[in-house]
Chains A and B, each alone.
Chain A
Amino acid sequence: AQSVTQLDSHVSVSEGTPVLLRCNYSSSYSPSLFWYVQHPNKGLQLLLKYTSAATLVKGINGFEAEFKKSETSFHLTKPSAHMSDAAEYFCVVRFTSGTYKYIFGTGTRLKVLA
Protein backbone atom coordinates (compact mmCIF):
# COMPACT_ATOMS: atom_id res chain seq x y z
CA ALA A 1 0.00 0.00 0.00
CA GLN A 2 1.09 3.53 -0.66
CA SER A 3 1.97 5.87 2.20
CA VAL A 4 4.10 8.88 2.99
CA THR A 5 5.96 9.85 6.14
CA GLN A 6 6.91 13.41 6.87
CA LEU A 7 9.78 13.17 9.26
CA ASP A 8 9.44 16.56 10.93
CA SER A 9 6.24 18.02 12.29
CA HIS A 10 7.87 21.44 12.76
CA VAL A 11 10.83 23.10 11.09
CA SER A 12 12.22 26.55 11.94
CA VAL A 13 14.68 28.42 9.73
CA SER A 14 15.96 31.95 9.60
CA GLU A 15 14.99 34.14 6.69
CA GLY A 16 17.51 33.76 3.87
CA THR A 17 18.72 30.31 4.94
CA PRO A 18 17.97 27.02 3.15
CA VAL A 19 14.82 25.03 3.73
CA LEU A 20 14.68 21.23 3.88
CA LEU A 21 11.40 19.42 4.48
CA ARG A 22 11.72 15.65 4.51
CA CYS A 23 9.37 13.07 3.07
CA ASN A 24 9.74 9.34 2.66
CA TYR A 25 7.29 7.25 0.71
CA SER A 26 6.23 3.66 0.50
CA SER A 27 4.80 2.30 -2.70
CA SER A 28 4.59 -1.02 -4.47
CA TYR A 29 4.76 0.73 -7.81
CA SER A 30 6.49 3.74 -9.26
CA PRO A 31 4.72 6.48 -7.36
CA SER A 32 3.37 9.86 -8.24
CA LEU A 33 4.38 12.31 -5.54
CA PHE A 34 3.34 15.85 -4.78
CA TRP A 35 4.10 18.68 -2.41
CA TYR A 36 1.31 21.05 -1.43
CA VAL A 37 1.42 24.15 0.73
CA GLN A 38 -1.38 25.45 2.90
CA HIS A 39 -1.29 28.91 4.43
CA PRO A 40 -3.37 29.53 7.56
CA ASN A 41 -7.08 29.21 6.95
CA LYS A 42 -6.50 28.75 3.25
CA GLY A 43 -6.87 25.97 0.71
CA LEU A 44 -4.11 23.89 -0.81
CA GLN A 45 -1.67 25.10 -3.41
CA LEU A 46 0.36 22.70 -5.53
CA LEU A 47 4.08 23.37 -5.28
CA LEU A 48 5.37 20.61 -7.52
CA LYS A 49 4.81 17.04 -8.64
CA TYR A 50 6.83 14.01 -9.67
CA THR A 51 5.29 11.65 -12.20
CA SER A 52 8.23 9.48 -13.36
CA ALA A 53 9.89 12.03 -15.59
CA ALA A 54 12.94 13.98 -14.36
CA THR A 55 13.96 13.06 -10.82
CA LEU A 56 14.72 16.68 -9.94
CA VAL A 57 11.47 18.57 -10.02
CA LYS A 58 11.27 22.34 -9.96
CA GLY A 59 8.18 23.99 -8.62
CA ILE A 60 6.79 27.40 -7.88
CA ASN A 61 8.30 30.03 -5.59
CA GLY A 62 11.82 28.60 -5.86
CA PHE A 63 11.01 25.20 -4.38
CA GLU A 64 12.33 21.95 -5.78
CA ALA A 65 12.33 18.30 -4.81
CA GLU A 66 14.42 15.32 -5.78
CA PHE A 67 12.98 11.84 -6.20
CA LYS A 68 15.45 9.26 -4.89
CA LYS A 69 14.23 5.74 -5.46
CA SER A 70 17.12 4.12 -3.59
CA GLU A 71 16.25 6.14 -0.50
CA THR A 72 12.46 6.21 -1.10
CA SER A 73 12.61 9.92 -0.46
CA PHE A 74 11.14 13.04 -1.98
CA HIS A 75 12.52 15.90 0.11
CA LEU A 76 11.48 19.49 -0.56
CA THR A 77 14.14 22.19 -0.64
CA LYS A 78 14.50 25.91 -1.19
CA PRO A 79 17.83 27.74 -1.24
CA SER A 80 16.67 30.80 0.66
CA ALA A 81 13.63 31.06 2.91
CA HIS A 82 11.31 34.00 2.77
CA MET A 83 8.92 35.12 5.46
CA SER A 84 6.01 34.34 3.16
CA ASP A 85 7.07 30.68 3.08
CA ALA A 86 5.78 30.19 6.62
CA ALA A 87 2.96 27.66 6.20
CA GLU A 88 2.01 23.99 6.45
CA TYR A 89 3.52 21.68 3.85
CA PHE A 90 2.09 18.32 2.85
CA CYS A 91 3.79 15.50 1.01
CA VAL A 92 1.28 13.43 -0.95
CA VAL A 93 1.41 10.08 -2.76
CA ARG A 94 -1.13 9.15 -5.36
CA PHE A 95 -2.45 5.67 -5.99
CA THR A 96 -1.29 4.58 -9.41
CA SER A 97 -4.46 2.77 -10.38
CA GLY A 98 -8.10 2.50 -9.52
CA THR A 99 -9.43 5.74 -8.13
CA TYR A 100 -6.10 7.56 -8.17
CA LYS A 101 -6.82 8.80 -4.67
CA TYR A 102 -4.29 10.82 -2.74
CA ILE A 103 -2.77 9.94 0.62
CA PHE A 104 -1.51 12.90 2.62
CA GLY A 105 1.40 12.97 4.98
CA THR A 106 0.91 14.42 8.44
CA GLY A 107 2.33 17.77 7.43
CA THR A 108 5.30 19.91 8.38
CA ARG A 109 4.80 23.37 9.77
CA LEU A 110 7.51 25.71 8.54
CA LYS A 111 8.35 28.72 10.66
CA VAL A 112 10.57 31.43 9.23
CA LEU A 113 12.38 33.63 11.71
CA ALA A 114 13.28 37.22 10.93
Chain B
Amino acid sequence: GAVVSQHPSWVICKSGTSVKIECRSLDFQATTMFWYRQFPKQSLMLMATSNEGSKATYEQGVEKDKFLINHASLTLSTLTVTSAHPEDSSFYICSARDSQGRFSYEQYFGPGTRLTVT
Protein backbone atom coordinates (compact mmCIF):
# COMPACT_ATOMS: atom_id res chain seq x y z
CA GLY B 1 0.00 0.00 0.00
CA ALA B 2 0.86 3.66 -0.08
CA VAL B 3 3.61 4.53 2.37
CA VAL B 4 4.85 7.90 3.50
CA SER B 5 7.94 8.13 5.65
CA GLN B 6 9.32 10.94 7.77
CA HIS B 7 12.83 11.44 9.00
CA PRO B 8 13.78 11.86 11.73
CA SER B 9 11.04 10.42 13.90
CA TRP B 10 12.17 12.60 16.75
CA VAL B 11 14.74 15.32 17.20
CA ILE B 12 16.00 17.49 20.02
CA CYS B 13 17.73 20.73 19.17
CA LYS B 14 18.95 23.80 20.96
CA SER B 15 17.19 27.11 20.79
CA GLY B 16 18.40 29.18 17.85
CA THR B 17 19.40 26.29 15.64
CA SER B 18 17.63 25.01 12.52
CA VAL B 19 16.12 21.59 12.00
CA LYS B 20 15.19 19.88 8.75
CA ILE B 21 12.42 17.27 8.53
CA GLU B 22 12.02 15.07 5.47
CA CYS B 23 8.80 13.63 4.08
CA ARG B 24 8.97 10.94 1.40
CA SER B 25 6.35 9.07 -0.57
CA LEU B 26 7.92 5.65 -0.98
CA ASP B 27 5.80 3.98 -3.64
CA PHE B 28 3.97 6.75 -5.41
CA GLN B 29 4.54 10.20 -6.82
CA ALA B 30 3.17 13.22 -5.04
CA THR B 31 3.05 16.61 -6.70
CA THR B 32 1.34 17.91 -3.58
CA MET B 33 2.36 17.34 0.01
CA PHE B 34 1.01 18.91 3.16
CA TRP B 35 2.61 19.84 6.46
CA TYR B 36 0.68 19.82 9.73
CA ARG B 37 1.57 20.72 13.29
CA GLN B 38 -0.02 19.11 16.31
CA PHE B 39 0.44 20.45 19.82
CA PRO B 40 -0.15 18.10 22.77
CA LYS B 41 -3.76 17.05 23.15
CA GLN B 42 -4.80 19.17 20.20
CA SER B 43 -5.87 18.57 16.63
CA LEU B 44 -3.77 18.80 13.51
CA MET B 45 -3.41 22.25 12.04
CA LEU B 46 -2.47 22.61 8.39
CA MET B 47 0.64 24.74 8.09
CA ALA B 48 1.30 24.73 4.38
CA THR B 49 0.74 23.02 1.07
CA SER B 50 3.90 21.99 -0.71
CA ASN B 51 3.87 21.86 -4.50
CA GLU B 52 6.58 20.14 -6.50
CA GLY B 53 8.67 22.65 -8.39
CA SER B 54 6.96 25.73 -7.04
CA LYS B 55 6.59 27.77 -3.89
CA ALA B 56 4.63 26.44 -0.98
CA THR B 57 1.32 27.94 0.02
CA TYR B 58 1.17 28.83 3.69
CA GLU B 59 -1.92 28.99 5.86
CA GLN B 60 -2.81 32.23 7.54
CA GLY B 61 -0.66 32.92 10.57
CA VAL B 62 2.19 30.60 9.59
CA GLU B 63 5.52 32.36 9.14
CA LYS B 64 6.94 31.32 5.82
CA ASP B 65 10.43 32.58 6.67
CA LYS B 66 10.48 30.48 9.80
CA PHE B 67 9.09 27.30 8.28
CA LEU B 68 10.89 26.81 4.98
CA ILE B 69 9.42 24.22 2.66
CA ASN B 70 11.16 22.69 -0.33
CA HIS B 71 9.47 20.19 -2.63
CA ALA B 72 12.32 19.44 -4.99
CA SER B 73 11.14 16.12 -6.37
CA LEU B 74 7.97 14.12 -6.86
CA THR B 75 8.70 12.02 -3.78
CA LEU B 76 10.36 14.39 -1.33
CA SER B 77 9.34 17.48 0.58
CA THR B 78 11.35 19.04 3.39
CA LEU B 79 10.34 21.34 6.23
CA THR B 80 13.09 23.39 7.85
CA VAL B 81 12.33 25.06 11.13
CA THR B 82 14.73 27.99 11.25
CA SER B 83 16.00 29.56 14.44
CA ALA B 84 13.90 27.17 16.48
CA HIS B 85 12.55 28.23 19.87
CA PRO B 86 10.89 26.20 22.62
CA GLU B 87 7.43 27.26 21.41
CA ASP B 88 8.16 25.46 18.13
CA SER B 89 8.28 22.16 20.00
CA SER B 90 5.50 20.09 18.51
CA PHE B 91 4.59 16.99 16.54
CA TYR B 92 4.99 17.66 12.82
CA ILE B 93 3.12 15.42 10.42
CA CYS B 94 3.29 15.40 6.66
CA SER B 95 0.97 13.89 4.10
CA ALA B 96 1.34 13.21 0.40
CA ARG B 97 -1.34 13.12 -2.26
CA ASP B 98 -1.06 10.41 -4.87
CA SER B 99 -0.84 12.33 -8.13
CA GLN B 100 -0.80 9.38 -10.51
CA GLY B 101 -3.90 7.58 -9.35
CA ARG B 102 -1.95 4.53 -8.28
CA PHE B 103 -3.64 4.75 -4.89
CA SER B 104 -6.90 6.43 -5.86
CA TYR B 105 -5.50 9.98 -5.72
CA GLU B 106 -5.87 9.85 -1.96
CA GLN B 107 -3.75 11.53 0.67
CA TYR B 108 -1.52 9.44 2.93
CA PHE B 109 0.04 10.49 6.20
CA GLY B 110 3.54 10.02 7.51
CA PRO B 111 4.19 8.78 11.06
CA GLY B 112 5.18 12.21 12.34
CA THR B 113 8.29 13.89 13.73
CA ARG B 114 8.45 15.00 17.31
CA LEU B 115 10.53 18.15 17.70
CA THR B 116 11.75 19.29 21.09
CA VAL B 117 13.59 22.59 21.32
CA THR B 118 15.58 23.12 24.52
Q: Which residues of A contact B (CB under 8 A)?
A: 36, 41-44, 49, 90, 94, 99-107
**Shortest CB–CB separation between residue B62 and chain A, in angstroms?**
13
Chain B contact residues: helix, strand, loop or mixed: strand
Q: Which residues of B contact A (CB under 8 A)?
A: 32, 34, 36, 42-46, 49, 57, 93, 95, 97, 106-107, 109-112, 114
**Shortest CB–CB separation between residue A93 and chain B, in angstroms?**
12
Residue of A nearest to B51 (CB): A99
Is the Cβ of A99 less than 8 Å from the Cβ of B43?
no
CA distance A28 to B59 in the complex (A): 20
Is the Cβ of A102 less than 8 Å from the Cβ of B93?
no
CA distance A96 to B109 in the complex (A): 19
Residues of B within 8 A of A94 (CB): 107
Is the Cβ of B44 less than 8 Å from the Cβ of A90?
yes
**Shortest CB–CB separation between residue A50 and chain B, in angstroms?**
13
